[in-house]
């Protein structure tokens, strides 16, 4: 029995979500192209039509039949190809096999088919293992090419035999599949995009519906960096936008490749998340073409070469057939089309030919967009403000101005502090947006910013960045810093921690256009306060594995807060916590916020009353979209309405023992594993069962 069948329970759960696809048998040939697509490609090429004929001629030039097949039993592929023992040979072999299979189908020249069989056969006989840093990625990037070649030959070339099928199946199931079956969402998202691309190919070639459905589920719900919703943000920005554009194009191409295969089999992943894939291509294409884009973090200008090898033509043609115009993507296609071969040749669906679809706009979410510190080039210094420059003693200035209620203006620059910053009552602290950054040395413990007195009141902090990472880097790999911050003994630092010694002794706290990012502990923690306002803020990448442990640190934690509003703000990508936690709070509104990609729940409520949660975008969280848990008496008077809640791994809304609960008008899309979008329960025994399962 195949090893992966021990995960049959998970796959069967997945089957409920995609019951329509699970009832079907696979189409063959049916990975990148079905038979009708292959025929379209062949007929257009032989008729001399462009762009098919030009792509065909380029493909022939790239595919010499004299290609020498060099195989290895044990392939070693290190970072950046060092060391490289057989890795480049495996990659070249996969490319050549697919090229030859396509050329066979067009020309019916048996020499191409036999060369593809030779390549596949020799690797099937030889390959036993892959190892080192890039082993998974190498397998993922070569697997779907091998599978496409084998699929075409198996169903169209008389010289392909059952012995070829058996040998190739043994290789992909005993060498390829074991490296990929657990995915690798801890890496940057292009890895899981490629892994899904190949797992879907393997599933179709081996007629494994359970594996197919598992990969489809992961595409929409994978944790960390593993899913489409994790990789492309609601504004189109990609997880690697601040890293470099070469990896972004690669990541988009791999997610597109996986969606393409699913579409061949009748499963539409292209439309997921309001055509999120198209949004990612348009956002990236716009930047590649030299236009300015809004980005959380500085978009990297590295590797901005326009590439033709990341599925851009197919993606453009697909969405064009759906009536969605992608002008920036179209412009890049026009620039790279005359350099493309296989990617262009295979980019057209027969089913899309001759149709004039109704035109539809590409939707970009405007909820909490943009949020955080402002990106404005020219700020006016408020009249009568105390002006502070980097290098000045900020704490001394705050102490001197305590009680005077004067505005303190922080000029652009990085302020590196070696002690916790203490905030007095009446403080109004304002910066020059993204140009003003507060940094903290490793000697600072517990919290970067705290209240100077337990009865602090009337405080406004706005329009600056509070940075928890060791450096505030422009254009960097966002995944790199996570490894450091996720360690158990990482710098144990929260961003803002305003905590009273008794209930509601803090009052009048306003945070506006504030970016609090990259803290190992909770980004913003306010306890025992009344009249709290959080407006247009960005609290992202806070809350890791540091002691006392996971699920205790979050992007925003409000505890025993009475009265206030949280609106137009962004609470994303807590690495081990929730987006927003409301604990023993009352009379609060949470509205018009983006709460996404957190490693636990989007919103967690405990023992609250009078909470209104409305018109938020809550997506891609690894727990529930919204969970109201029961601790000892439960919450009361909760209103959850008109939220867009989708692609969360738990229920869209789950609530236990809530008195006067109103859940209405929410828009749900593919939350959870069993299809039920809500779980509203008054039976406390079920809560205990849930705790034991978790």
What is the band of 62 on the pLDDT scale with cuts at 50, 70, 90?
very high
pLDDT per residue over 110-138, tens digit each? 999 999 999 999 999 999 999 999 999 99
Q: What's the whole-number mean pLDDT along residues 532-548?
A: 94
For 542-635, strand residue ranges (E) read 556-567, 570-572, 580-583, 586-591, 594-596, 603-606, 609-614, 617-619, 626-629
Q: What's the whole-number mean pLDDT along residues 61-65?
A: 98
pLDDT at 22: 44
Residue % of the chain over a pLDDT of 70: 93
- Separation CA 419–CA 301 (nearest Å): 35
- Separation CA 100–CA 310 (nearest Å): 20
- The values of phi and psi at residue 273, to 5°, are 60, 40
pLDDT per residue over 163-173, tens digit each? 999 999 999 99
Q: What's the whole-number mean pLDDT along residues 484-502?
A: 80
Pairing of strands 603-606, 407-410: unpaired
Pairing of strands 667-669, 644-646: parallel
- Separation CA 379–CA 3 (nearest Å): 61
Has residue 396 got a pLDDT over 70? yes
- Separation CA 623–CA 621 (nearest Å): 6
pLDDT at 249: 97
Q: What's the whole-number mean pLDDT along residues 222-239?
A: 96
Pairing of strands 570-572, 524-535: unpaired
Q: What's the whole-number mean pLDDT along residues 236-254?
A: 97
Residue 347 CA to its chain's centroid (Å): 25
For 281-335, strand residue ranges (E) read none
Has residue 462 got a pLDDT over 60? yes
Has residue 18 got a pLDDT over 50? no
Structure tokens at 119: 């390549």
What is the band of 150 on the pLDDT scale with cuts at 50, 70, 90?
very high
| Contact (CB, 8 A) for 495 and 516 | yes
pLDDT at 485: 65
Has residue 252 got a pLDDT over 80? yes
pLDDT per residue over 265-309, tens digit each? 999 999 999 999 999 999 999 999 999 999 999 999 999 999 988
pLDDT at 82: 92
pLDDT per residue over 267-276, tens digit each? 999 999 999 9
What is the widest separation between alpha-carbon atoms in the chain?
A: 89
Has residue 484 got a pLDDT over 80? no
| Contact (CB, 8 A) for 408 and 421 | no
Q: What's the whole-number mean pLDDT along residues 247-254?
A: 97
DSSP state of 7: G
pLDDT at 164: 98
- Cα dist from 595 to 222, 382, 644, whole Å: 17, 32, 10
Has residue 23 got a pLDDT over 70? no
Has residue 685 got a pLDDT over 80? no
- Cα dist from 102 to 308, 333, 392, 500, whole Å: 18, 22, 67, 70
- Can you give the pTM of this predicted structure? 0.94
Pairing of strands 74-77, 84-85: antiparallel
Has residue 187 got a pLDDT over 80? yes
pLDDT at 255: 98
What is the band of 5 on the pLDDT scale with cuts at 50, 70, 90?
very low
What is the band of 486 on the pLDDT scale with cuts at 50, 70, 90?
low
């Amino acid at each position: 029995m195949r090893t992966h069948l021990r995960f049959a329970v998970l796959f069967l759960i997945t089957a409920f979500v995609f019951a329509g696809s699970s009832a079907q048998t696979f189409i063959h040939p049916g990975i990148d192209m079905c038979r009708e697509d292959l025929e379209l490609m062949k007929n257009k090429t032989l008729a001399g039509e462009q762009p098919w004929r030009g792509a065909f001629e380029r493909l022939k030039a790239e595919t010499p039949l004299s290609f020498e097949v060099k195989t290895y039993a044990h392939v070693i592929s290190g970072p950046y190809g060092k060391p490289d023992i057989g890795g480049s040979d495996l990659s070249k072999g996969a490319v050549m096999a697919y090229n030859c299979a396509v050329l066979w189908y067009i020309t019916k020249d048996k020499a191409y088919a036999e060369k593809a069989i030779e390549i596949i056969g020799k690797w099937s006989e030889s390959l036993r293992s892959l190892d080192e840093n890039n082993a998974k990625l190498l397998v993922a990037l070569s697997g779907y090419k091998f599978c496409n070649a084998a699929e075409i030959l198996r169903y169209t070339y008389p010289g392909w035999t059952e012995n070829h099928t058996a040998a190739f199946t043994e290789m992909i199931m005993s060498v390829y599949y074991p490296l990929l079956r657990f995915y690798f969402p801890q890496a940057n998202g292009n890895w899981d995009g490629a892994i899904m691309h190949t797992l879907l190919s393997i599933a179709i070639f081996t007629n494994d519906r359970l594996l197919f459905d598992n990969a489809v589920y992961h595409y929409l719900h994978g944790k960390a960096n593993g899913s489409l919703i994790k990789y492309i943000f609601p504004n189109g920005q990609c997880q690697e936008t601040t890293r470099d554009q070469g990896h972004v194009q690669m990541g988009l191409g791999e997610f597109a490749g996986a969606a393409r295969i699913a579409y061949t089999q009748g499963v539409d992943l292209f439309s997921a998340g309001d055509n999120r894939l198209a949004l990612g291509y348009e956002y990236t294409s716009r930047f590649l073409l030299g236009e300015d884009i809004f980005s959380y973090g500085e978009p990297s200008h590295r590797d901005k070469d326009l590439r033709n090898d990341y599925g851009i033509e197919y993606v453009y043609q697909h969405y064009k057939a759906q009536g969605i115009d992608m002008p920036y993507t179209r412009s890049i296609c026009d620039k790279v089309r005359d350099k493309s071969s296989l990617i262009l040749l295979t980019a057209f669906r027969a089913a899309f030919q001759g149709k004039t679809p109704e035109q539809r706009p590409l939707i970009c979410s405007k909820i909490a967009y943009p949020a955080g510190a402002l990106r404005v080039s020219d700020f006016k210094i408020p009249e009568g403000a105390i002006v502070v420059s980097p290098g000045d003693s900020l704490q001394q200035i705050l102490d001197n101005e305590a009680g005077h209620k004067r505005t303190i203006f922080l000029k652009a620059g990085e302020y590196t502090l070696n002690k916790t910053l203490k905030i007095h009552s009446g403080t109004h602290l304002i910066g020059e947006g993204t140009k003003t950054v507060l940094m903290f040395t490793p000697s600072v413990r517990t919290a970067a910013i705290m209240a100077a007195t337990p009865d602090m009141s009337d405080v406004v902090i706005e329009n600056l960045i509070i940075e928890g990472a060791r450096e505030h880097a422009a254009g960097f790999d966002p995944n790199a810093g996570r490894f450091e911050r996720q360690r158990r003994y990482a710098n144990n630092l929260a961003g803002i921690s305003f905590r009273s010694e008794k209930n509601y002794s803090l009052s009048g706290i306003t945070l506006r256009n504030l970016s609090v990012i990259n803290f190992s502990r909770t980004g913003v923690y306010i306890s025992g306060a009344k009249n709290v306002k959080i407006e247009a803020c960005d609290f992202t990448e806070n809350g890791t594995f540091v002691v006392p442990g996971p699920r205790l640190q979050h992007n925003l934690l409000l505890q025993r807060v009475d009265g206030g509003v949280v609106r137009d703000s962004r609470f994303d990508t807590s690495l081990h916590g929730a987006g927003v936690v409301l604990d023993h709070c009352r009379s609060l509104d949470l509205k018009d916020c983006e709460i996404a990609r957190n490693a636990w729940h989007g919103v967690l409520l405990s023992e609250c009353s009078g909470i209104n949660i409305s018109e938020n975008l809550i997506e891609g969280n690894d727990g529930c979209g919204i969970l109201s848990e029961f601790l000892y008496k439960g919450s009361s008077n909760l209103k959850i309405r008109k939220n867009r809640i989708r692609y969360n791994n738990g229920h869209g809304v789950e609530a236990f023992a809530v008195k006067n609960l109103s859940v209405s008008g929410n828009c749900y899309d593919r939350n959870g594993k069993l299809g039920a979008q809500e779980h509203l329960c008054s039976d406390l025994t079920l809560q205990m069962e849930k705790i034991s399962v978790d």
